[in-house]
Amino acid sequence: MQPTSRTQVRRTPQRGEYDLDVIYQILDEALVCHVGFVSDGQPIVIPTAYGRVGDRLYIHGSPASRMLRSLQTNLEICVTITLLDGLVLARSAYHHSMNYRSVVIFGAATTVTDPEEKWQALKAFTDHVVPQRWSDVRPPTSQELKGTLVLTLPLTEASAKIRTGPPLDDEADYQLPVWAGVLPLQLTTTAPKPDPRLPSEITIPNAIENYTRTTSCISLKHL
């Protein structure tokens, strides 16, 4: 993807990544995005869940949501997603950092009116949280579908920014007797807790028992 004036990474540009496969990989691993927009002159940033189908991002919620009502007006928005991979501990306070993978998306969201696309978007939301979950649960009723607003944003103006590797200290500081390195971070789960009203004969699905968020295999030079 060619960067635009909005997606071009200017601060530490060597960390910029515009390959769609890399952007998709980050989107598919993360769980929450932050939607930034201006409503009545007031800047607002709202965290929300999302799903991806091909080259489109989907968000959903109640038609009464101020965010979704605002976004229906063809408002320009900025969506951000961040995965934190590690704390970068340098020999100096100045060079402490974090290893991360992030995506920034610009565009205007539109309302999904096609019933089939709306159905596929809701499936994407569900399976994004837990793979194959849609096939295990009751699908939405017609009333639930009517009460859910789905918006879509094309992934045509997006970029990623990635930092990997050890701290980058000033050359003179490498002689300091201070521990330096990376403290890796990872999203993990504990044992599933059954609903108190769940019948004992219902076993834990494999996708939940062995749940994990996919760790990226992005191979890049240290940035």
Q: How far from 220 is each of 12, 22, 51, 156, 216, CA to CA, in Å? A: 15, 11, 26, 23, 11
**Is 214 a domain residue?**
no
pLDDT of residue 82: 97
Domain count, the chain: 1
**Is 202 a domain residue?**
yes
Q: What is the pLDDT of residues 6-56, one digit of tens each?
A: 999 999 999 999 999 999 999 999 999 999 999 888 999 999 999 999 999
Q: What is the pLDDT of residues 120-159, one digit of tens each?
A: 999 999 999 999 999 999 999 999 999 999 999 999 999 9
**Is 159 a domain residue?**
yes
Q: What is the pLDDT of residues 104-116, one digit of tens each?
A: 999 999 999 999 9
Q: Rounded CA gap, 157 and 104, in Å?
A: 8
pLDDT of residue 162: 97
Mean pLDDT across 59-68: 86
Q: Rounded CA gap, 99 and 87, in Å?
A: 6
Percent of the chain past pLDDT 90, that is, above it, reads 85
Give the domain range for residue 31.
13-170+177-209
Q: 215: pLDDT confidence band, cut at 50, 70 and 90?
A: low
Radius of gyration (C-alpha) of the chain in whole angstroms? 21
pLDDT of residue 218: 53
**Is 1 a domain residue?**
no
On average, the pLDDT of the chain sits at 93
CATH number where 133 lies: 2.30.110.10
**Is 25 a domain residue?**
yes
Q: Rounded CA gap, 185 and 98, in Å?
A: 10
**Is 151 a domain residue?**
yes
pTM, whole model, 2 decimals?
0.91
Query: Burial, 143: exposed, middle or buried (Cβ in 10 Å; 0-12, 13-18, 19+)?
Result: exposed
Mean pLDDT across 90-109: 97
**Is 4 a domain residue?**
no
pLDDT of residue 223: 61
Helix (H, G, I), strand (E, B) or coil at 65: coil
Percent of the chain past pLDDT 70, that is, above it, reads 96
- Judge contact between 150 and 51, C-beta under 8 A: no
pLDDT of residue 137: 96
Q: Rounded CA gap, 118 and 88, in Å?
A: 42
Dump the DSSP string for 132-173: THHHHSPPPPHHHHHT-EEEEEETTSEEEEEE-SS----GGG
Q: Rounded CA gap, 42 and 45, in Å?
A: 10
**Is 7 a domain residue?**
no
